[in-house]
Amino acid sequence: MSAPAARPRGYRMPAEWEPQQRAWLVWPTNTETWPGPLLDAVRVTCARVAAALAADQAVGLLVDDADGRAEARALLPPAVLHRVDFHVIPTVDVWIRDYGPTFVVDDGTGSVAAVEWDFNAWGNKYAELASDGAVSSELNRRLSLERSRAGIVLEGGSIDVDGRGTLLTTEQCLLHANRNPHLTSAEIERALGDYLGVSRIVWLGGGIAGDDTDGHVDDVARFVGPRTVLAAFEDDPADENHRVLEDNHRRLEGAVDAAGRPFTVLKLPMPDPVLGGGGRLPASYANFYIGNASVLVPTFGQAKDRTALETIRSCFPSRRVVGVDATAMVHGFGGIHCCTQQQPAVRPYN
């Protein structure tokens, strides 16, 4: 594997619904993130996510050691174990979306490469979690992928792409002073274009209440197809999420993609408030993961779960839409999309 290049050439970040070689997850171990019985509950959630994906595709699961491998194997159905590869790479927390690599493809050669970002534990909030920033390089070393270091602070949950040159993000996160205070929005856009192959950045305003990531976009708006965006929406004007989500919706309706075409913007309901730790937790149905044959949607034991599942199912008629109770997981301030990362498939080329 070559040393990190200055920037990838000819690569783009595919949309999540494009073919994947595997999905990456991390086995939960952090008793501070999930104290007491929450850790066992989150391990069950993680096993359900891995099992649902492994029914149809390969899964890579990072574990700290042999004990972690044994714990995971005990909770995974035997029928899917042949599709789960265990990798001993110690981690502090499970949020591989944010500290792991972003995989990109070269459609001309069919190759896959990795972009490594700087990780500062969500704006230097959690010093004890900063060491997870080393996971990206170690994973790429083992995968022997060409890699590039972008040299900017960015978490994977702060961006979403359509695979055709358009990227969604929020001003609250990428322009926050605790990420890249030395960069202008134009410089950030240039870096995103260089490393992810995008030419149009759609800036939304902010994220949802309780989100300690400073407004990650994967809780508020997601591409579900070319030119189609599923946007979280709160109908109750008294709810603290109403104004910011209404503003995001308005921005999306006025935006265009990289080809200059307007979006179809669909509304996805927000769950009723999920409380814990003395405040509101960042529960959102938008934090779903799109696999090769399935879409895994966080649920919270509410009546709104059904509406959210039906809405997402209408966007993915050819995939199984599976609800996974993420109530315990959201106590750690993340969800299903946060704890997963897609690695695109190597593509044949002429």
pLDDT digits (tens, 9 = 90+) for 102-123: 999 999 898 999 999 999 999 9
Question: Contact, 287 vs 335, CB < 8 A?
Answer: yes
CB 206 within 8 A of CB 242: no
Closest alpha carbon to 54 in 19, 78, 71, 33: 78
Q: Which two tokens stand for residue 91?
A: 């981690």
Q: What is the pLDDT of residues 232-288, one digit of tens each?
A: 999 999 999 999 999 999 999 999 999 999 999 999 999 999 999 889 999 999 999
Mean pLDDT of 85-101: 98
pLDDT grade for 3, boundaries at 50, 70 and 90: very low
* Residue written as token pair 């669909």: 266
Q: Are 294 and 53 in contact (CB under 8 A)?
A: yes
Q: Which residue has the tokens 């993680």?
A: 46
Which residues are annotated as catalytic? Answer: 338
Q: What is the pLDDT of residue 4?
A: 46
Instruction: Give the pLDDT of residue 278.
Output: 86
Handedness of CA 60, 161, 10, 291 (dihedral sign): positive
pLDDT tens digits along 150-164: 999 999 999 999 999
Residue whose C-alpha is closest to residue 286's, from 221, 240, 225: 221
What integer pLDDT is reported at residue 9 of this predicted model? 66
Strands of 92-244 (E only): list them.
102-106, 111-118, 146-153, 160-161, 166-170, 200-204, 221-225, 228-233
pLDDT band at 350 (very low <50, low <70, confident <90, very high): very low
pLDDT on residue 8: 59
| pLDDT surpassing 70 at residue 5 | no
Structural contact between residues 120 and 159, judged by C-beta atoms closer than 8 angstroms = no
286 to each of 5, 14, 133, 207, how far by Cα in Å? 34, 19, 25, 11
pLDDT at 347 over 80: no
Place of tokens 């060409």: 146
Average pLDDT of the residues in 281-309: 98
pLDDT at 71: 98
Beta strands in the chain (DSSP E): 20-26, 58-63, 84-88, 102-106, 111-118, 146-153, 160-161, 166-170, 200-204, 221-225, 228-233, 264-269, 275-276, 279-280, 289-290, 294-299, 320-325, 341-344
Determine the topology of domain 20-344 in CATH.
Answer: L-arginine/glycine Amidinotransferase; Chain A (3.75.10)
Asked if 264 and 314 touch (Cβ cutoff 8 Å), the reply is: no
- Please name the amino acid found at residue 47: A
Specify the pLDDT at position 2: 40
Tokens of 68: 């972690």
Instruction: Return the structure tokens found at 340.
Output: 């997963």
Q: What percent of the chain has pLDDT over 70?
A: 97
What is the pLDDT at residue 335?
Answer: 98
pLDDT exceeds 80 at position 290? yes
Alpha-carbon gap, residue 342 to 350, rounded angstroms = 25
Count of C-beta atoms within a 10 Å radius of residue 312: 24
